[in-house]
Amino acid sequence: MKRLNCTYEISKDKNYPWLLKHPKIKAGLAKFRTRQEALEWYMLLDFETAIWFQDDNRIFAGQLTIDNDEQNWYYYIKTKGFDGDATYEGICRELSINQHTFEINKKELEKRVKPLKEGEDFILISDPYTYFPAELEISKRKPKDYVDVEIIKDEFQNRIQSLEAKLNENAANAEKELEKLQDELATREAENEELKKIQEELIYKTTTIENVQVINRTLQEELAKTEAENEELRRKREKEDKESSTKIKVRTSQEEAEVKQIKEYGNTIDTLQYTELIYLNESDTVGAMALYIEKIKKILDNIEDKAISQDDYDRIKYNLWTLQSAVSKNIEKMPSDRIEIVSKLNDQLIYFCKKLIDSLTIDSELEDTPANQAYYYEAKLESKVPVSFETSYVLVDLYHVGFVPKDEYYYAIPNVTTRSTYSVTLVHSSDSTRTVKYESPYRETVRSYQEEVIEEIEVPEKVVEEEVVITKLPTVEEQPVVYEEIVEEPKVEVIDYTEEKQEEKVPANRSRWLYIAAIIALVIWIIILLIIAILAGVDLGTGAGLLNL
């Protein structure tokens, strides 16, 4: 770690009185018009350095420590133990350092420092990249040694004392506020000692809709595919109805499965409504925290291992910062007996947010393009999803919950989605009997297009059932049986009756034939007699002639 002094040398240079110089190097580094310009110019160099600075009375007033922890730069101010005229809050305000996260907005810092012209606004004496010899490096101490923990503790202690004074006037209300502040003090001390739970700085950055169009496009394609399948099923059934109006139509198991799937999908697809997290009630706030933790776990399990641009990294940090800010406001509005147990869930949320940030790798030379952004693979959509988009919201029931007002939300909001419900049970760490359960309240869903398609499919089946009843009315199978039972006995009687009549007519038929035969015989005998008579006459004539002779 490097070492540097920022001293007020008005007697040597009235135009550029503030000098940056190593205490053991004869030549200085640079001279500036104000202490703020001198320190901010050096902060942009990103050197791990301990800087002792004076006030305008040439008395050392404090120390600025620039420290790097993996991907983050931190700026610690310490004024306790120095004689100069400076306060912790004043120096943090002068250098735009967040008093609680120890970070700065580098974008804003660059806007102030880059316009400074060498030779006009400041004098560069030495090259900063060759100015510090390696043998003069000092050992790096623990971060907690750089922080004015006592000043922060004093700040909270003063607030506690103020509340104690009010306690005499209104003991009941002040006691609750005092307990809350003491818990906050204990939490703050733990954060200062370990420096593990740091809230992210505000980074305002817009993004284009192109980064997240893949989400909306995938959902629209899936919905269009389902509608096409439903239309094909409807046309198929209409065709079957036209081919045979009396044919009994039986739905196959495959068709039943398709209809069941459509119905289930229809119950889960609904329109979304955007809302800001700060407007959620207590139950939905806890649900949002739990759902967001699960979302980050899924991102960590499926994130791509690659370097990303600085701008995309800033977008993700901004999302997590606005989330934490909104959650903190909602927790403050909860009943005092719930704050402690819900804060434990918030600790987990902060932990996983920090874990996600630590997993990202930045390449400052990369341009801000879709190819240089962080993505994770979403199995349900079978596509990659930008992490910056996914961390910008959490889906609670049918609400697309963002962390900023809607007019400041620059990501695309899908038209439809799957309902997201929750059931969270919080158990007190020291008393397992103290539990709080939060569940999704019932809300009516928007009627989906798939349900209307199902109704159109069901109508032909009712018509077919009526036609089947009509075909059963003649009872074709029963009529032949009745008919056979009616004609069977008369048929037998007719047969018996015919046989009896035949027996009675047999003698009459025989006499008729005898009568005919007798007539024929008589005729024959007459003819024979005539022939005999003729022959007899001839014989008589012949005999008489003979006699005459």
Q: pLDDT of 350-409, one tens digit each? A: 999 999 999 999 999 999 999 999 999 988 888 899 999 999 999 998 889 999 999 999
Question: 254 and 161 in one domain?
Answer: no
**Confidence band of 485 (pLDDT split at 50, 70, 90):** very low
Same domain flag for 266 and 388: yes
Rounded-to-integer distance, Cα 465 and Cα 249, Å: 8
Residues 270 and 405 in one domain: yes
pLDDT of the residue at 309: 95
Decide the pairing of beta strands 399-402 and 273-276.
parallel
Same domain, 122 and 175: no
**Are 14 and 141 in the same domain?**
yes
Whether residue 263 is found in the same domain as residue 364: yes
414 Cβ contact partners less than 8 Å away, ≥ 6 residues apart: 215, 216, 219, 272, 400
Same domain, 386 and 406: yes
Indicate whether 397 and 503 sit together in one domain: no
Same domain, yes or no: 175 and 285: no
Q: Identify whether 485 is part of a domain.
A: no
pLDDT in tens, 198-253: 554 444 444 444 544 555 566 567 667 766 766 776 677 666 655 543 333 333 33
Do 22 and 166 share a domain, yes or no?
Answer: no
Of the chain, the percentage scoring pLDDT greater than 90 comes to 43
**Domain count of the fold of the chain:** 4
Closest by CA position to 386, among listed 207, 201, 204, 199 = 207
Q: Are 350 and 197 in contact (CB under 8 A)?
A: yes
Is the model's pLDDT at 451 over the cut of 80? Answer: no
User: How confident is the model at residue 419, as a pLDDT?
Assistant: 74
Domain boundary among 194, 227, 256: 194
Alpha-carbon separation of residue 240 from 233, 464, 521 (angstroms) = 11, 11, 86
State the average pLDDT over residues 503-522. 64
Q: At what angle do helices 310-332 and 282-302 cross, to 10 degrees?
A: 150
Going by DSSP bridges, is the β-strand pair 399-402/435-439 parallel, antiparallel, or unpaired?
unpaired
pTM of the model: 0.36
Indicate whether 470 belongs to any domain. no
Q: Which of 186, 151, 179 is nearest to 164 (CA)?
A: 179
Residue 74 pLDDT > 50, yes or no? yes
Same domain, 160 and 140: no
Q: What does residue 89 show for φ and ψ, rounded to 5 degrees?
A: -65, -40
Does residue 414 fall inside a structural domain?
Answer: yes
**Which residues, in sequence order, are bridge partners of residue 75?**
66
Answer yes or no: is pLDDT of 73 > 90.
yes
Is the pLDDT at 255 greater than 60? The verdict is: no
Residue 224 in domain: yes
| Cα–Cα distance for residue pair 197/352, rounded to 1 Å | 10
Domain carrying residue 167 = 151-194
- The reported pLDDT for the residue numbered 160 is 80
pLDDT value of position 213: 52
Mean pLDDT, the chain, rounded, equals 76
In a domain, 451, yes or no: no
Say what the pLDDT of residue 104 is.
94
Considering the domain boundaries, does residue 507 fall inside one? yes
pLDDT of the residue at 244: 41
113 and 228 in a single domain? The answer is no
475 within some domain: no
- Domain end, chosen from 159, 194, 229, is at 194
**Tens of pLDDT along 16-51?**
999 999 999 999 999 999 999 999 999 999 999 999
Average pLDDT over residues 471-482: 35
